[in-house]
Amino acid sequence: MINQARGEGLVKPKTFFGLTLETQRDVLLLLVEEHLSRSILETIARAGHFDERQGKGIAFQIDVEDAVGISHQIRKLTRVVEEEI
């Protein structure tokens, strides 16, 4: 998780004597198997009410060409994906 992130939407943040009154934002990164990504993205959007309420957050998908450090999870992910598709 990346914490202390900042974001700015259409409405400028409020200030108090020149000091910004922003709340802390967290950035959560998930690396998921390609065939499960859309379903996960839609679930995150529903749970976070991203389409119903302004300023609740965003979720987006980026294709990852390759990753290291996950070889211990490949067998389990393969079974999950096979069950889903």
pLDDT at residue 11 greater than cutoff 80: no
Q: How confident is the model at residue 78 (pLDDT cuts 50, 70, 90)?
A: confident
* Predicted TM-score of the model (pTM): 0.60
Q: pLDDT (tens digit, 9 = 90+) per residue, 28-72?
A: 888 888 888 999 999 999 998 888 887 778 888 999 888 888 877
Query: What stretch of H or E contains 77?
Result: helix 74-84
Q: Does residue 8 register a pLDDT over 80?
A: no
- pLDDT for position 23: 65
